[in-house]
Chain A
Amino acid sequence: QKEVEQDPGPLSVPEGAIVSLNCTYSNSAFQYFMWYRQYSRKGPELLMYTYSSGNKEDGRFTAQVDKSSKYISLFIRDSQPSDSATYLCATQTSGSRLTFGEGTQLTVNP
């Protein structure tokens, strides 16, 4: 079993839709949870991180962690074509190591 599981998609939505991206993780000891965005042929870019459970909002983006179900979510409101990218969830699994999900490829159609 992978430490972090993520549906690779692809996911295609119309402009303005609410997007929900999800991951599950295996170890209840994980404390930090991150979402990265990666455009084609670019390196990942940190969008948000959360510590432990709860929600964190930044503009149109909301990250949510449910430690009881080991579930991580990223919601994008009023999605735009510029949001089209691959979204990677990650957790800090031990010490310096981050473990990433496989990434979900999102396309927002104008």
Chain B
Amino acid sequence: GAGVSQSPSNKVTEKGKDVELRCDPISGHTALYWYRQSLGQGLEFLIYFQGNSAPDKSGLPSDRFSAERTGGSVSTLTIQRTQQEDSAVYLCASSPYFSKHYEQYFGPGTRLTVT
């Protein structure tokens, strides 16, 4: 079946602009996660959705970052007033069971470059 999809695959933006990154989880997966992967930093947890609510948003690095999920499916990560340090690969993952966070399926990521 179809895996997690993300769009766009690449995004180049100017410093100060807002960007929206989209994630389509595997159909029927209730849990959805956003991560950021920077060179030399590994994967950094950003936010977790259970259905449409976000019980854990503790990884969002600043109030410029926000995310929402609608219909228990698609999620959008928004970065306002982008900075150069926001350049990274943003990965989305979904899980079929909200109680099994260890079983996550990742999308290919969106590579964000802020110039």
Q: A: which residues have CB within 8 A of B?
A: 6, 8, 32, 34, 36, 41-46, 49, 88, 90, 92, 95-103
Q: In the assembly, what is the distance between CA of A106 and CA of B15, in Å?
A: 35
Closest to A34 in B: B102
Least distance between B81 CB and chain A CB atoms (Å): 26
Residue ID in chain A nearest B56 by CB atoms:
A96
Q: Is the CB of B43 within 8 A of A88?
A: yes
Q: How far is the CA of A80 from the CA of B72 in the complex (A)?
A: 40
The CA-CA distance from A100 to B107 in the complex, in Å, is 16
Number of residues in B with C-beta < 8 Å to the partner? 25
Task: Kindly state the separation between the CA atoms of A49 and B102 in the bound complex, as whole angstroms.
Answer: 7
Instruction: Tell me whether B77 is interfacial, beta carbon within 8 Å.
Output: no
Q: Tell me the smallest distance from the CB of B89 to a CB of chain A, in Å.
A: 9
B91 contacts across to A, CB distance below 8 A: 43-44
Q: B41 to A98, Cβ gap below 8 A?
A: no
For B104, give its contact among A6, A95, A98 (CB under 8 Å). A98
Among residues of B, the one whose C-beta sits closest to the C-beta of A44 is B106
Does B4 make an interface contact (CB < 8 A)? yes
The reply to whether A96 and B55 contact each other, CB–CB distance below 8 Å, is yes
Point out the residues of chain B lying under 8 angstroms from A43, CB to CB: 4, 91, 93, 106-109
Interface check B101, CB cutoff 8 A: yes
Cα–Cα distance between A102 and B42 once the two chains are bound (Å): 4
- Which chain A residues border B50 with CB–CB below 8 Å? 96
Which B residues touch A32, using CB under 8 A? 101-102
B102: which A residues are within 8 A, CB to CB?
A: 32, 34, 49, 90, 92, 98
B113 CB to nearest A CB, Å: 14
Whether A97 touches B106, Cβ cut-off 8 Å, given contacts A43-B91, A102-B41, A103-B42, is no
Q: Can you name the residue of chain B whose Cβ is closest to the Cβ of A32?
A: B102
The answer to whether A46 and B104 touch across the interface, beta carbons within 8 angstroms, is yes
**In the complex, which residues of chain A have a beta carbon less than 8 angstroms from the beta carbon of B18?**
none
Interface pair B107/A97, CB less than 8 Å apart? no
